[in-house]
Structure 1
Amino acid sequence: MNPDKVTAFKSIVSACVMVVLTISCSKKTTSVSESDPWRRMEFIIKNLPKTNFQDKTYNIDDFGAVADGKTLNTQAFQKAIQTCASNGGGKVLVPNGKYLTGAIHLESNVNLHLEDQAEILFSLNPKDYPIVHTSWEGTEVMNYSPLIYAKNKTNVAITGKGTLNGQADNTNWWIWSGGKNYGWKKGIPSQNDPQNREVLVDMAERGTPVNERVFGEGRYLRPNFIEFFECNTVLVKDITVINAPFWILHPIKTNNMIIDEVTVNSHGPNNDGCDPEYSQNIIIRNCTFNTGDDCIAIKAGRDADGRRVAISSKNIIVQNCKMIDGHGGVVIGSEISAGVNNVFVENCVMDSPNLDRAIRIKTNSKRGGIIEDVFVRNLEVGTVKECVLKLNMFYNVYGSQTGNFIPTIRNIHLENVNVKNGGKYSIWAEGYEQSPVENITLTNVKIEKVDSIYLLKNVKNLKFNNTYINGNKVK
């Protein structure tokens, strides 16, 4: 069978599995007693399609790559990837050494594999990142290519214990954020200039077609690092990612993806570790996140654009991960308009005086969205700065964020959670009178030290089962 037919066949199989998973997980769960959500999680894991590649290797050195950290190797990467794909796929090998490149665009059936001492250095010249269909803060746009990008691909991977280095710092990409902590000073252009971020958001609100939302040069919207756009059956394993311009791992409209044993160490602005968006059946496991923003942030589009796309993120599984610095350990939102459900978090360690919250959901009446069925168990939390669990329908970071799209947050369950220092609050939950935060259950939770048990506004059906806070059993 020729490679194109193989790819098509795999896509059909993956689509069939997706239908089964969607049907099986479609029942809404209002309490753990009605069904076992962890069995649903196991079913998702068991039935997830896995990547599989031909035993063929294409060494980028054979396509003219030079490992001196100075020679631009964009063409060598692209030739190796295209040759590999045209021959039915296999492994594109990045040997030990430092390789400078612009954007890398992956193809179906290709595994980009880094040897242990291989380091890919990404160019700091924006011209090395051609305009592609991508997304920026939950809004689709024609903008700079992500540093590594795949669109409409099946059976694709990035593996190996080497390093992906975005080389971002306060002298280049990060300064575009407009943050004074990242080198910006008055008079320096940034994403915050009126013709940049605000124009994009306004275009989306007016329904401007994506192909007419052309940004790039002069607009200062930083590129994502690794983006799989409308892909299926994806693996990212073992790599280390440092110094990212913007969001780091960004599966968007992507299904059936495993992110395994990845280390993210990047403290720049908006340096979220992993942002699944409009995506389903995503497993994030055995990873370490040390970030300048949220460690993991599950997304579903911003405002009108999220409602236009209308694909919820669902069946997101986080296992055996370590969260160090970050705004939140596992976060849902704030770009959340298409909704999120069936999130499973287990066996994670979260600990840093620079980690603000362990579990967080953030939205508002401009974002809207239905966020439901979030199951968390077996967490070890050392120190968080603000709170253990924060559920906020009034998130406001960009000025006025109010509208007519009242969100829903319901069915949030924490079980077997141990916390040494919970910061200001064990639970901070705020809903609307007409849409309270509903069905929060804490079972076998122990918080040794926290300033206040909770801050609550419009919360319905909060239950504590065998939960101890500051040494006292909470009823």
Structure 2
Amino acid sequence: MSSISFKKYPVLIFFAILINGSVNAQEKDAAWYIKNAPFKMQEVTLPVFAAHSFSIKDYGGVGDGQVLNTNAFKKTIDACVAAGGGRVTVPAGIWLTGPIELKSNIDLHVERGALILFTKDHSQYPMIHPSFKSSNYVTASPIYGYDLKNIAITGEGIIDGAGESWRPVKKEKSTAGQWKDFTSSGGVVSTSGSIWWPTKEAMDGEQHLKDLKKKNGKLTAEDYVPARDYLRPYMLYLINCQNILLENITIRNSPKFVFYPNSCTNLTMNHVNIFNEWWTQNGDGIDISRCKNVLIYDCTVSVGDDGICMKSSGAKSDDNSAGLENVVIAKCVVYHAHGGFVIGSNTDGGTQNIFVTDCNFIGTDIGVRVKSNTGRGGLVKNIFISNIFMKDIVHDAISFNTYYEDMPAGKVKSNTVNVLKDKTPNFTDFYFDNIYCNGAKDAVSITGLPEMPVSNIHFKNMIISAGKGFIATDAADLELNNVKIISQKDPVFVLNNVRNININQGYFPEDAQTFIKADATTRGINVTSTDLRNNKNAIVVSKE
């Protein structure tokens, strides 16, 4: 068929909608979003600090970018804790340091002009036990804290994790010039020639860990040191903490995920900037895992992996609540990322009550991405996504995928189906409203499991222009109201083993020959549209 005419929906209309949405969003503060969440959301408790203030300069700190300030940070934080807590101030300068361990009742305040720069000397990063994990050791994160209460990182300064000294790079993710720069800077290249590793220890670390598992007896931190470079740390890693605030800070260039709070309660992010280069391997921006009562407000993200991501792993709570619940994400912008807003792939702990609204996703691989697979899936429900404005999405504007396969650097895709039937993904009760996308490869892609279809998905007030339209496999109870998918190829809808789909006010593109193509296992197609009533070719159901 010929390409679709966009005369009815010119780009100017799209940007008029975008500007109107932005103006409306500017009238809403963080408290408004909490109050108007489509589920009961209590206020997120902020940390409270004593009025004391301690400067790193007063404890031997030198901000010249040459002197290592690890001890100065520790002494300043310890002095603040001894005084009952308060603010640890990092003034303008370049503050080279090893890992910083946060303590309760501390506000690490990085002033404008200050750059905390973590050292590339990996011997400064000890092997430690996270408090909630097994007996295995991990590499200490640049900033970390366990079992804390009342903590903050604030100020308009910058925190840089020296991630380039840790991360492998896939040749396929870099330009010819970048690849030449990486390989000529040192490090080693894998035997396949496809992966550059910063050090030989990083490349060989996985095999060292396999060899450790064969050893009998208790392992020590020294046993893990040869794998330190392979065990890349998260940039900012918080476990089992309460009352957390990140405000105005810029965090960039992480060894792995930028911000990874796990099992935390009452977390607020205000006006935070997160940045990793686009080729960053496993360089997620914000990964919220098993947390409760979370507000992410007016943040900007551009990274090499998932942008703003929800995860939930581990056993569910005794009170039957989900591991991850009560999250509000508002007025955020995501530029480069594998997904703008993402759920998964670890969802086995349960996820519910997520509200994402008034956000822009520009140039992300996928706009809204929900992913998992058997073996690490669980119940994900009550997800509300509204007022999302997207442009130049590389693949799907909206994607549900229950066959997701995560591929670490150096691994090859197996092309086999995971037959493990434990921890099955169950995606249900999603509500999309006011979703606009100018340009995507595919508008909507839904892939469920035959034994657990993606179900009860509601789409309302949407306009998406894309190369292909709406593709659903193993899905049930789909509701579309006032949804316009402007597809360059028909059929607009491709349905495989779909049960019950209602399309109200369906838009039939003027150049399309077929609106819906369904296989023989699809049941319950209901379309309400004047454009389709008199078109006998609009809906084609296979007899095979």
TM-score normalised by length of structure 1: 0.82
Question: Structure 1: which 5+ residue stretches go unaligned?
Answer: 1-35
- Specify the SS of the correspondent of 2:377: coil
Report how far residue 166 of structure 1 moved: 1.1
- Specify the SS of the correspondent of 2:137: strand
Report how far residue 396 of structure 1 moved: 1.5
Aligned to 1:413: 431
Q: 1:389 to 1:194 in 2, by over 3 A?
A: same
Report how far residue 242 of structure 1 moved: 1.5
- Specify the SS of the correspondent of 1:75: helix
Q: 1:50 to 1:257 in 2, by over 3 A?
A: same
Aligned to 2:156: 161
Report how far residue 467 of structure 1 moved: 1.1
Question: Structure 2: which 5+ residue stretches go unaligned?
Answer: 1-32, 183-187, 192-199, 408-413, 488-505, 509-526, 528-544
Report how far residue 192 of structure 1 moved: 7.6
Q: 1:127 to 1:178 in 2, by over 3 A?
A: farther
1:468 aligns with 2:484: yes
1:252 pairs, out of 262, 273, 283, with 262
Q: 1:196 to 1:41 in 2, by over 3 A?
A: farther
Aligned to 2:144: 149
1:100 aligns with 2:105: no
Report how far residue 339 of structure 1 moved: 2.1
CA–CA distance in structure 2, aligned partners of residues 210 and 276 of structure 1 = 30
- Specify the SS of the correspondent of 1:76: helix
CA–CA distance in structure 2, aligned partners of residues 198 and 177 of structure 1 = 23
CA–CA distance in structure 2, aligned partners of residues 391 and 374 of structure 1 = 13
1:425 aligns with 2:442: yes
Q: 1:78 to 1:213 in 2, by over 3 A?
A: closer
The size of the alignment, in residue pairs, is 423
Aligned to 1:395: 404
5 Å matches for 1:36-55?
39-40=36-37, 43-44=40-41, 46-55=42-51
Report how far residue 64 of structure 1 moved: 0.2
- AA aligned opposite 2:251: V
Q: Is the 8 A contact 2:37 2:355 kept in 1?
A: no
Q: 1:233 to 1:455 in 2, by over 3 A?
A: same
Aligned to 1:444: 461
CA–CA distance in structure 2, aligned partners of residues 392 and 326 of structure 1 = 17
Report how far residue 299 of structure 1 moved: 1.1
Q: Is the 8 A contact 2:44 2:295 kept in 1?
A: no
- Specify the SS of the correspondent of 2:167: helix
- AA aligned opposite 1:285: Y
CA–CA distance in structure 1, aligned partners of residues 355 and 138 of structure 2 = 33
CA–CA distance in structure 2, aligned partners of residues 144 and 332 of structure 1 = 26
Q: 1:313 to 1:436 in 2, by over 3 A?
A: same
Stretch deviating more after TM superposition (187-196 or 219-228): 187-196
Aligned to 2:297: 285
1:318 aligns with 2:314: no
- AA aligned opposite 2:341: V
Q: What's the % identity of the aligned pairs?
A: 28
Aligned to 1:26: none
Q: 1:307 to 1:157 in 2, by over 3 A?
A: same
- AA aligned opposite 2:398: L
1:66 pairs, out of 62, 87, 90, with 62
Aligned to 1:332: 343
Q: Is the 8 A contact 1:177 1:190 kept in 2?
A: no
Q: Is the 8 A contact 1:364 1:402 kept in 2?
A: no
Aligned to 2:80: 84
- Specify the SS of the correspondent of 1:221: coil
- Specify the SS of the correspondent of 1:426: strand
Aligned to 1:131: 127
- AA aligned opposite 1:195: Q
1:457 aligns with 2:473: yes
Superimposed CA distance per residue, residues 350-403 of structure 1 (whole angstroms, 9 cap, x where no aligned partner): 111xx1111111111121211111110011111211111111111123445441
Aligned to 1:173: 166
- AA aligned opposite 1:341: Q
1:264 aligns with 2:282: no
- Specify the SS of the correspondent of 2:66: strand
Q: 1:189 to 1:209 in 2, by over 3 A?
A: closer
CA–CA distance in structure 2, aligned partners of residues 294 and 38 of structure 1 = 28
Report how far residue 283 of structure 1 moved: 1.1
Superimposed CA distance per residue, residues 326-352 of structure 1 (whole angstroms, 9 cap, x where no aligned partner): 000011111222122111100001111
- Specify the SS of the correspondent of 2:374: coil
Aligned to 2:532: none
Q: 1:97 to 1:298 in 2, by over 3 A?
A: same
Q: 1:387 to 1:178 in 2, by over 3 A?
A: closer
Superimposed CA distance per residue, residues 228-287 of structure 1 (whole angstroms, 9 cap, x where no aligned partner): 111000001111112111001111011100011111111221111111111111111111
CA–CA distance in structure 1, aligned partners of residues 295 and 398 of structure 2 = 22
Report how far residue 300 of structure 1 moved: 1.6
